[in-house]
C-alpha cells in the first residue's frame, strides 16, 4: 500500500506506474482517493475546530459554575444558571456534530483504504516493461545446461520406477493435486529440505517453524486481494486461512509492532507446508507434481532498513542459485516484467532450473522486494529518534520447494543405468547413500 502523502503529492507518477503495469482500469482510483482524502481532511479540520471551541466553552462553564457558587444574589444566580444551561447545550450539540464528523471520517477512511489496497506499489525503475510473463527478461545463467544421450522419463515415471510415489491413492483420499511420497523418494524430499535449512542457517539466518494458519488481517497485510482469492483456503466458520507460503506467517509475526533499529536486519528462514487453490489458467496437473494443492517449502524472509533492501534482494536470489548449483543443477535468473509483478512488489526475480527432458528452464523459486508495502499494511515500524519512526522494507525468497525441486533434481541426476546420483551435500541426509 502506498503512502497516501506520496499519492497526494505525485498523482501523475502513480497513474504512470499503473499504466506500466497495464492496469488502466485502476487509474480513476487515484483521483477518487485524492477527493476522498480531501473530504476526510476537511472533516478532520471541522472536528478539530469544534473540539477547540468545546474546550473553550467547557472552561467558560467551569468559571461560571464557580462564580455561581460564590454568588449571593439569587437573581444573578439564575442568570448564571441560564447561561450555563445555554452553553452546556451548545457543548452537547458540538459533541453530536463531532461524533457525526468522526463517523463520516471513518467511512471516508474505509473507502480510501479499499482503493489504496488495490493501487499497485511503485515498481523499481530497473523493472522491464511488459504485459505478462512472456515478456520477462533473462538475466544470467549458471552451469551448463546439458541433454544426455539417453531418454529421460517424465518425473513421476522416475519416481514410480523406484516405488516412490502413489498418485492413485491420493486421488481417492483427496482428489487431484495431491500425492503420497514414499521410500527413498520421500527420504530425498526430506533430505533436500534439511539441507536447505542448514544451508540457510550457515548463512546466518534464524530458523523458524511458524503457524500454518493466519487471520484475515494478516492475509490482507501480506498479499493483494487477487492473490488471496486465487491462493488461500479459508477455514469454515473461523477467521483463519491456511498459509500459501511461510512468508505469510513470518511477516505477519511483526504485525502492529515497533522494531529497534539495532535489531535490523531480521534475516529469517522458515519451513512450512503450503496450501494453494491454484485457481487460474494453469490449473492442477493430474499426472505430475509441478502444480499441486499441497507442498513443503524452505523460505527466506528479511526485514531491513529501506536503504539496504536492494543489497539484500541480490543476496537472497544468489543464495538460491548457490544451493541449486551445489546439487549440480543448472539454473538461470529471470527478471519479472511490470505486468507480471504482483501489486505489492517493487521488483522480482525468478530462479528457473534446467529440465533436460523438456530442454528448457522452469520456475523453482521467486525472490521479491516489496518495499514498505507489507510493513505499511501491517503497521510494522522501526524506532528512530533522530529521523523519526519509519516503515521497514520486507523481502522474501524461496530457498527450495519440493516437489518442484525433485523434478529438477531427478532429471539432472538421472544416470544411463536408471539410477539417480546423490550429490555429496545430500549424502549425510540420505544415510550415506551415493545413489538410489
Q: What is the block-wise mean pLDDT of the chain (436 residues), using blocks of 10 residues?
A: 94 98 97 97 95 91 86 81 89 93 96 94 97 96 95 94 94 92 96 98 98 95 80 93 95 97 97 85 67 93 98 98 96 97 96 96 96 96 92 97 92 95 97 95
Domains of the chain, CATH where assigned: 4-116 (1.10.287.40), 133-430 (3.30.930.10)
- In the prediction, which pLDDT does 68 show? 82
Rounded distance, CA 215 to CA 234, Å?
10
- In the prediction, which pLDDT does 67 show? 83
Gap between the terminal Cα atoms of the chain: 49
Q: How many CB atoms lie within 10 A of CB 365?
A: 29
Structure letter (DSSP) for residue 257? -
Rounded distance, CA 279 to CA 277, Å?
5
Dump the DSSP string for 106-127.
HHHHHHHHHHHTTSPPPPPTTS
Phi/psi at 197 (5° precision): -60, -50
- Comparing C-alpha atoms, which of 377, 373, 367, 368 is closest to residue 393? 373
- In the prediction, which pLDDT does 400 show? 96
Reported as half-sphere exposure (CB side, CA atoms, 13 A), residue 118 has a value of: 17
b/e per residue, 173-198, with b = 16+ CB within 10 A? eeeebbbebeebbebbbebbbbbbbb
b/e per residue, 54-84, with b = 16+ CB within 10 A? beeeeeebeebeeebeebeeeeeeeebeeeb
Grid cell in block for residue 245: 507460503
Amino acid at each position: 500500500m502506498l503512502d497516501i502523502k506520496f499519492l497526494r503529492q505525485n498523482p501523475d507518477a502513480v497513474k504512470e506506474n499503473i499504466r506500466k503495469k497495464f492496469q488502466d482500469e485502476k487509474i480513476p482510483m487515484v483521483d477518487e482517493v485524492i477527493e476522498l482524502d480531501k473530504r476526510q481532511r476537511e472533516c478532520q479540520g471541522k472536528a478539530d475546530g469544534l473540539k477547540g471551541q468545546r474546550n473553550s466553552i467547557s472552561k467558560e462553564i467551569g468559571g461560571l459554575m464557580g462564580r455561581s457558587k460564590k454568588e449571593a444574589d439569587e437573581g444573578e444566580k439564575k442568570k448564571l444558571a441560564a447561561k450555563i444551561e445555554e452553553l452546556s447545550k451548545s457543548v452537547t450539540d458540538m459533541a453530536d456534530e463531532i461524533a457525526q464528523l468522526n463517523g463520516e471520517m471513518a467511512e471516508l477512511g474505509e473507502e480510501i483504504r479499499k482503493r489504496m489496497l488495490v493501487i499497485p506499489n511503485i515498481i523499481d525503475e530497473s523493472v522491464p516493461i511488459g504485459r505478462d510473463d512472456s515478456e520477462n527478461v533473462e538475466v544470467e545463467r549458471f552451469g551448463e545446461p546439458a541433454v544426455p544421450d539417453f531418454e529421460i522419463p517424465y518425473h513421476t515415471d522416475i519416481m514410480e520406477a523406484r516405488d516412490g510415489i502413489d498418485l492413485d491413492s491420493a486421488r481417492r483420499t483427496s482428489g487431484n493435486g495431491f500425492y503420497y511420497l514414499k521410500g527413498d523418494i520421500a527420504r530425498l524430499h526430506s533430505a533436500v529440505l534439511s539441507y536447505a535449512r542448514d544451508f540457510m542457517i550457515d548463512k546466518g539466518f534464524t530458523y523458524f517453524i511458524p503457524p500454518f494458519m493466519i487471520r484475515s488481517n494478516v492475509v490482507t497485510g501480506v498479499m493483494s486481494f487477487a492473490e488471496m482469492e486465487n491462493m488461500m483456503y479459508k477455514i469454515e466458520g473461523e477467521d483463519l486461512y491456511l498459509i500459501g507460503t511461510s512468508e505469510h506467517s513470518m511477516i505477519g509475526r511483526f504485525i502492529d509492532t515497533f522494531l529497534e533499529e539495532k535489531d535490523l536486519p531480521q534475516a529469517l528462514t522458515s519451513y512450512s507446508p503450503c496450501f494453494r487453490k491454484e485457481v487460474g489458467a494453469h490449473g492442477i496437473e493430474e499426472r505430475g507434481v509441478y502444480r499441486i494443492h499441497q507442498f513443503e517449502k524452505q523460505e527466506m524472509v528479511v526485514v531491513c532498513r529501506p536503504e539496504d533492501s536492494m543489497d539484500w534482494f541480490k543476496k537472497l536470489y544468489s543464495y538460491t542459485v548457490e544451493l541449486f548449483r551445489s546439487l549440480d543443477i543448472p539454473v538461470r535468473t529471470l527478471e519479472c516484467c511490470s505486468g507480471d509483478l504482483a501489486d505489492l512488489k517493487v521488483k522480482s526475480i525468478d530462479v528457473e532450473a534446467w529440465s533436460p527432458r523438456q530442454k528448457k528452464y522452469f520456475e523453482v523459486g521467486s525472490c521479491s522486494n516489496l518495499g514498505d508495502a507489507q510493513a505499511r499494511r501491517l503497521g510494522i515500524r522501526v524506532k528512530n529518534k533522530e529521523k523519526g519512526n519509519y516503515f521497514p522494507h520486507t523481502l522474501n525468497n524461496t530457498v527450495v520447494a519440493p516437489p518442484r525441486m525433485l523434478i529438477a533434481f531427478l532429471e539432472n541426476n538421472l544416470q544411463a543405468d536408471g539410477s539417480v546420483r546423490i550429490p555429496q551435500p545430500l549424502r549425510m541426509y540420505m544415510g550415506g547413500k551415493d545413489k538410489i
